[in-house]
A = this chain, B = another copy of it.
């Protein structure tokens, strides 16, 4: 029989992992997922992901695909994957058969991230490991104003990690909202795709603006400079969540 291609919706807690991608040392989410699929397949199976999240980054809606020869019902596949990923905080939420030429990575039409800042004096109690704790009062309105300069199609070299493997630094940022809810500042970023560390580098820059160290307009100058050294530092990974990957047509209703 021929193999079928499966798309899987995944949730994970990034704490304690070296990130999505399998590394020489440390436990990767890819390793856990591929081991689980390989147990089902009875042989090695490779997974392709929509986004290779960094060490410590969480996912509520990561998507991967792989090919499986074995016939299985979607619900049974989810159940079997979740059996084999135990006891790790990596779980499959949905499984859908997709066309043979569909790719979790290349078919994606959008990625959505959320970054959470806990802006209060006291360190996090319940949310430790899921927020960037910034004790100094931040001006969220100034951060929101600064974020608006980054919207649209630009050369994002200033917000790109040195290790970034993308061919072009051009990206179209569709959304970068900054909103305060009490002690929490939430930043939502959406684009077709992002450069390596782009979201965390934008957040690190917005932090400088929130502190009043830089004026909101400076983000336009930083973009124009196309120079990583002009932007702020990389925000830590633990505040970042990959919330959704979008496809057209939709895969997970």
Stretch at the interface among A87-95, A142-150, A161-169, A173-181: A87-95
Chain B residues with CB under 8 A of A90: 125
A126 on the interface (CB 8 Å rule)? yes
A58 on the interface (CB 8 Å rule)? yes
Query: In the complex the two chains form, what is the Cα distance from A90 to B130 in whole Å?
Result: 16
A122 touches B92 (CB 8 A): yes
The residue that A91 contacts in the complex, of B10, B11, B125, with Cβ under 8 A, is B125
Residue of B nearest to A124 (CB): B91
A35 on the interface (CB 8 Å rule)? no
B11 touches A125 (CB 8 A): yes
Query: In the complex the two chains form, what is the Cα distance from A219 to B120 in whole Å?
Result: 42
Chain B residues with CB under 8 A of A126: 11-13, 58, 60, 89, 130
Q: A93-B120, A120-B93 are in contact. Are A125 and B79 (CB under 8 A)?
A: no
Cβ contacts A79-100/B at 8 Å (1 or 0 each): 1001000000111110000000
- Which A residues are closer than 8 A to B by beta carbons? 10-13, 58, 60, 75, 78-79, 82, 89-93, 120-126, 128, 130
